[in-house]
Amino acid sequence: MTQDEFLKLYPDAYPSDVRWGEMDSLHHVNNVNFFRFFECARMIFWERLEKEVAKQVPKDIGPILASTSCRFRRPLYYPDKILIGAKTSSIQEDRFTVEHAVWSKEQETIVAEGDAIVVSFDYKTQKKVPLPEAWRRFMEEAMRNAFPQD
């Protein structure tokens, strides 16, 4: 898969270098680092959302990670340059799902895929709440852009 093909699937992917310290004793990137890659991609997406809609959502309402998973497709090695993609793939009443992928420049393929379920949470009452409408509109627009209609 070329970089351009990956960017068509994950238009908001961000670049990163594989760092030596991410390797483990088996000389490939340790699995925990993929969850860090995914987290960084989600936070970049979230920061973009916050800039757009923060004033439209009560300050006590925020995201909380309910679950996350990763499918390791190929080992990743130092040195390498990667693209880390995140996109909303589904929206429900009180949660949304984010798909993740890590693309390796050296291997020219996706080396890991995963997803995360993120719940709308009221940090004051410590309970889940319906997704704020402003979040929903932003994510629906992002989904339209990530999955163009022909």
Number of structural domains (the chain) is 1
> 111 with 103: CB under 8 angstroms?
yes
Is residue 28 a part of any domain in this protein? Answer: yes
Q: How far apart are the first and last CA of the chain?
A: 22
pLDDT along the chain (150 residues), means of 10: 94 94 96 97 90 87 97 98 96 97 98 98 97 94 66
What per-residue confidence (pLDDT) applies to 146?
Answer: 63
Is residue 58 a part of any domain in this protein? Answer: yes
Reported as a single tens digit per residue, the pLDDT across 99-136 is 999 999 999 999 999 999 999 999 999 999 999 999 99
Strands 61-72 and 81-91, sheet pairing: unpaired
Is residue 109 a part of any domain in this protein? Answer: yes
Is residue 34 a part of any domain in this protein? Answer: yes
CATH number of the domain that 87 lies in?
3.10.129.10
What per-residue confidence (pLDDT) applies to 150?
Answer: 44
Residues 21-58 as b/e (b if ≥16 CB within 10 A, e otherwise) read ebbeeeebbeeebbbebbbebbeebbeebbeebeeebe
Entry pTM: 0.90
Is residue 148 a part of any domain in this protein? Answer: no
Computed over every residue of the chain, the mean pLDDT equals 93
Q: Which domain holds residue 65?
A: 3-133
For residue 125, give the DSSP letter.
T
- Dump strand ranges (E) for 46-108: 61-72, 81-91, 95-104
User: Rounded distance, CA 106 to CA 89, Å?
Assistant: 27
Is residue 150 a part of any domain in this protein? Answer: no
> 6 with 15: CB under 8 angstroms?
no
User: Rounded distance, CA 144 to CA 91, Å?
Assistant: 12
